[in-house]
Amino acid sequence: MKPRFLFAPGAVLAAGALALISPHILPQAARTTFAWAGPGHDHGPAGKHGADKSQKASDKQAAGDKQAAGHDHDDEGLVHMTPEQAASHGVDVAVAGPGVLSMSLSAPGVIAPDSDRIARIAARVVGTVAVLNKRLGDAVEKGEIVAELDSREVAEARSEYFAALTNLELQKTLFAREQELWNRRVSAEQQYLRARNTLREVELRVELAAQKLTALGLSPGDVAASRNAGPGAAQSFQRYPLRSSIRGRVVERRVDLGAPVGGEGQEKELYVIADLSKVWIDLAIPADELSRIHEGQEVRVAAQDGAATKGRVIFVSPMLTPDTRSARVIAELDNDGLRWRPGGFVTARVTIGEEPVGLRIPRAAAQTINGRPAVFVQAPEGFRIRNVSLGRDDGVHVAVTSGLTAGERVATRNAFLLKAELGKAEAEHAH
C-alpha cells in the first residue's frame, strides 16, 4: 500500500528549502555573504582606519601615564620651596661637617638672685616714714637716698654732735688765748695745761658724737653737713635719710608713708633692692656625679620657652643634703635685659668633656618621619627628605653616621614646617 501525504512533495520543498538545506552544500559566495565584520575588525578600508585611530589613542594614553608616573617619582619626598620662601618662613640652613660634641651632664635648676647683689634697706633707728622716693621696679643708683625717716633718736644724736662742735669752737678760742698768755709768761702754766686738756676732751666728744651718727647709718657726707650747719638747722636733725648700698632695682617695698618702723613689733626693712645683671642657677647634683663637676666648667642653660644661654660653675658644695644625697652646685649667668627671672625653672647641661666627630648637624635639623630619623637636604627646587643614621648627641649638635656627606646643606630652625608640608603633599597624592 502506498503512503499517503498530507501536502504535496513540491509544496514541502518550496516552504522549507532554506531550513532543510545544509550550509555545506551552499555555494561559497552564499556563505561569504553572511560573514560578521564588527568594529575594529580589519576588513575593508574603513575598518583599517578605525583600528589605526584606536591604536594611536592607546599609545598616547600609555605615554601620558608613563610621564605622570615618572614625575611622581621625581617629586617623591620633595618639598618645593625657593630660598626666598624659606627665608620668609624662618627656615635656616646649616652645612654638615666635622666638629666637636660637648659631652655634658643634665640637671634641673632654679633661677635665683645672686645673694651678693641683694640689699635690704633697713631702719637702724626708731622713727616714722616721712618720704618714699622709689616705687616698685624703679632703678636705683648706689648711694641714692630712697627714703627718709623722722626720728627722735637721730635728732638727739645730731644735737649732741652739734653741741660738741659748738663747744669745740669755744675751747679752741680759750686754748689759743691761754697759750698766748703762757708764751708771754703772763698766766701760770697750770692754767695753760688745764685749757689744753679741756680742748682734748671736747675734741674726743666730737669724735664720739660723729661715730654715733655713723653707727646710725648716716654717711660721712651727712656728718660733714651737720658740722657745717648753723644753729637754726638743729630742728632738721630729726630727718634720717636711707641710702641704697648697691645699684639695682626695687623688687619689694614693705612700708607706706607714715608707717612706724624700727620699734618692737614694727617693720625693720623698707625696701629690697636687687642687682639682677647676674643671676644664679641653683642645681642639685647626685653624689655619684660630683666627681665630674668642677668650678669653672661651662654650663648651657635652656628655659621652657626655648631661650638658651651659657654660664659658669662658681660653687660646688662640699656638703651633701641628707634627704636627697645630692650636693648644691651654683652656676652664674649674665642677665642682660633681665631675660632670666628668679624663681623660674630651667634645664642645665654641665660640660664634662669633648668628643670630635667626623660629621655633625644641629640638633634642630634632625626630624623623625615614619619612625626613622631624617633630615631635609637643600636642593635647587627645594628641600628633599633624606633618611640618616644618628650617633651621639650633646643637646646642641648630633653626630651623623650615615646618609649624609660633608658639605651638604640641611634645614635647621623651623625644619618641622617642611615636615608638615611633606605630610600634606603625601596626603593629597594619596587621594
- The residue type found at 83 is P
Distance, CA of 400 to CA of 402 (rounded, Å):
6
| DSSP per-residue letters across 15-60 | HSHHHHS-GGGS-HHHHHHT----TT---HHHHHHHHHHHHHHHHH
Q: pLDDT over 70 for what percent of the chain? A: 76
Averaged pLDDT, 134-147: 94
**Mean pLDDT score, 71-81:** 67
Task: Grade residue 74 by pLDDT with cuts at 50, 70 and 90.
Answer: low
What per-residue confidence (pLDDT) applies to 89? 83
Task: Say if CB 354 and CB 344 are below 8 A apart.
Answer: no
The yes-or-no verdict on residue 71 having pLDDT over 50 is no
Residue 365 confidence (pLDDT) above 80: yes
Three cell numbers, residue 165: 662742735
312 grid coordinates: 659658669
Give the ranges where 151-252 is alpha helix by DSSP (H).
152-183, 189-215, 220-228
Beta bridge partners of 108: 347
Mean pLDDT of 113-123: 93
Q: What is the pLDDT of residues 251-265, one digit of tens each?
A: 999 999 999 998 888
Q: Of residues 15 and 396, which shows the higher confidence score? A: 396
Look over the chain and give the mean of its residue pLDDT values, rounded to a whole number. 80
> What is the predicted pLDDT for the residue at 138?
94
Confidence of residue 395 (pLDDT cuts 50, 70, 90): confident
**pLDDT digits 0-9 by tens, 228-247:** 655 555 546 688 889 999 99
Identify the helix (H) or strand (E) that includes residue 299. strand 298-303
Q: Can you tell me the distance from the alpha carbon of 255 to that of 120, in angstroms, rounded to the nearest whole number?
A: 13
pLDDT value at residue 80: 85
Q: Tell me the domains of the chain and their CATH numbers.
A: 78-101+356-430 (2.40.420.20), 105-113+275-354 (2.40.30.170), 115-274 (2.40.50.100)
Measured between alpha carbons, how far is residue 217 from residues 121, 207, 263, 374, 387 in Å?
Answer: 11, 16, 16, 67, 71
Model confidence pLDDT, tens digit, residues 269-315: 999 999 999 999 999 999 988 888 999 999 999 998 888 999 999 99
- Residue 370 is predicted with a pLDDT of 86
Instruction: Grade residue 227 by pLDDT with cuts at 50, 70 and 90.
Output: low
C-alpha 373/C-alpha 391 separation (Å) is: 11
Q: Give the pTM.
A: 0.56
Q: Residue 6 pLDDT > 70, yes or no?
A: no
Residue 185 has pLDDT above 90, yes or no: no
Q: What is the pLDDT of residue 231?
A: 52
Over residues 78-98, the pLDDT tens digits come to: 888 888 888 888 889 999 999
Q: Which residues contact 328 (CB under 8 A, 6 or more apart)?
A: 282, 283, 284, 315, 317, 319, 321
Residue that wins the pLDDT comparison between 54 and 327: 327
Is the pLDDT score of 39 beyond 70? no
pLDDT at 78: 85
Q: Which of 52-61, 94-103, 179-188, 282-291 has the lowest mean pLDDT?
A: 52-61
Nearest to 79 by CA among 418, 420, 431, 426: 418
Q: Inform me whether the pLDDT recorded for 394 exceeds 90.
A: no
Residues 143 and 247: beta-carbon distance below 8 Å: no
- Angular region, 325: left φ>0, alpha ψ -120 to 50, beta rest: left
Give the per-residue pLDDT at 429. 57
Q: What is the pLDDT of residue 121?
A: 94
- Report for 38-52, 69-83, 171-185: range of highest mean pLDDT: 171-185
